[in-house]
Amino acid sequence: MFSHPIDFLHQFLSWYLYCAAQSRFLVSGSADNTMRLWEVQTGKCLFFWEFPTAVKRVAFSEDDDQIVCITEQRMGYQGAVRIFNINRDGDGTQQSKEPVSMFNPIGSKAVVCAFAHTPDLILTGHESGKVALFDAKTGEEVLSNEHAHRDVVTDLQMAQDRTYFITSSKDKTARLHETRTLTVLKTYTTETPLNSAAIAPNKPYVLLGGGQDAMSVTTTSLRQGKFETRFWHKVLEEEVGRVKGHFGPVNTIAVSPKGDCYASGGEDGFIRVHHFDESYFRAKPYGDLEIED
């Protein structure tokens, strides 16, 4: 019944995919109100959870034991954050339908989430531009930064050791935060609304993507849309390069965990996988500065 081909995952558009660190499982959330667990190697759907509203965002914990997901606030249902345990023994089809924990963040809608540096804290980004930490068990807001951004938080990606993370926003900036305190460490200011931001491992760069709103794309020229992936220096907050290619806004960017390539998905319907060339690893645009990852 669930033997869809690998590229046809959900009946409706998928909002988000998240691949586990050990690359065995893939979890996807979709507008068809389901979250599904897939086996990466075969493309088999192992399990699915059904919710009353669409799934906006999914994420694995660091040790792949848990999944967190956000469901949309719609049709009388509050937006909810649910956490599930994943049974990795066996073939993976034996999963619990019930979440270990579930809570409804009050106030502005949560749109993005991830596990923080410890598995008992959930990091969320909100429509108002707020970034907050929630206790995974009780659902209490532990800490928040109300003014992390001035507009919707569009993406939130963790650094490899989860001690800091990057958020992007429609307010045309991306920011680097410390997970423990939620203080803003760095700000990258661009001239277009941003849809995604990623941290490149092993190199001191962050990748930002965005562009004119999809609505106004047809009224702007390709040049003015700025549909490029921008590379910024993580520490010095200076732009170091751009990669062109999409002819629509960039919706999402992900860097491979090894840091040797990155993929970007655009409104134009293309996913572009770029491999970094030799010079990317050799280049030291600011001289010999040892920068800790």
Partner 1 sequence: MAPNGVNGVVHDDEGIDYADIESKYQVEYDEGLDNILIVDGVPVIDKSKLEKLLQKIAKDFSRKGCPIKPENITVPWDDAKGKSKGYIFIEFKNADDATRALATMNGHPFDAKHTFLINRFTDFERYMNMDETYHEPPPEEYKPKEHLRAWLADPQGRDQYATYRGDEVEIHWHGKPSQCEVAFSKLNWTDLYISWSPMGTYLATLHRQGVRLWGGPSWEPVQRFAHPLVKLIDFSPNEQYLVTWSYDPIVVREGAEQGPQYFSPEDEGNNIAVWDIKTGHLLRTFPSVYPEGDEAKKQMQWPALKWSPDDKFVARVTPGQQISVYELPGMHLQGKKSIKIEGVIDFEWRPIGDKDREEMEKENKPAANGAPAKVKKVRENMLAYWTPEVQNQPARVTLMNFPGREILRQKNLFNVTECKLYWQNQGDFLCVKVDRHTKTKKSIFCNLEIFRVREKDFPVEIVELKDAVTDFSWEPKGERFALISSNDPNLGNPGPGITIKTEVSFYQLDRSKGDFKLLKTLAGRTSNTVRWSPRGRHVVLATVGSSSKSELEFWDLDFNMDETRRESAPWGTGIQHLGTADHYALTDAEWDPSGRYLATSASAWRHTLENGYAIWDFRGQELEKHILDRFKQFLWRPRPPTLLTKEQQRQIRRNLKEYSRVFDEEDAAEESNVSAELIAHRKRLVDEWNAWRQRCKEELAEERRKRGMKAEPAKKAPEEEEQEEIEVWVDEVIEQTEEVVE
User: Do strands 14-19 and 229-233 pair parallel, antiparallel, or not at all (unpaired)?
Assistant: unpaired
User: Quick one: which segment of 39-47, 50-58, 93-101, 157-165 binds partner 1 (CB under 8 A)?
Assistant: 157-165
Q: Which is nearer to partner 1, 56 or 172 (by Cβ)?
A: 172
Min. distance of Cβ 78 from partner 1 in angstroms?
31
Per the rule left: phi > 0, alpha: psi between -120 and 50, beta: everything else, 226 is left
Counting contacts by CB under 8 A, is residue 286 touching partner 1?
yes
Encoded tokens for 49? 């959870």
Counting contacts by CB under 8 A, is residue 216 touching partner 1?
no
Cross-strand pairs, 146: none
Q: 154 burial class (0-12, 13-18, 19+ CB within 10 angstroms)?
A: buried
How many other β-carbons are positioned within 10 Å of the β-carbon of residue 161? 10
Encoded tokens for 34? 């389901």
Cα atoms in the Cβ-side hemisphere of radius 13 Å centred on 254 = 8
Counting contacts by CB under 8 A, is residue 11 touching partner 1?
no
Counting contacts by CB under 8 A, is residue 224 touching partner 1?
yes
Counting contacts by CB under 8 A, is residue 235 touching partner 1?
yes
Among 18, 164, 231, 232, binds partner 1 (CB under 8 A): 164
Rounded to whole angstroms, the Cα distance separating 71 from 125 reads 13
User: Quick one: which segment of 26-34, 84-92, 147-155, 161-169 binds partner 1 (CB under 8 A)?
Assistant: 161-169
Counting contacts by CB under 8 A, is residue 223 touching partner 1?
yes
Residues engaged in binding partner 1 (CB under 8 A):
63, 117-118, 160-161, 163-164, 178, 180, 185, 202, 221, 223-224, 235-236, 258, 286-287, 289-293
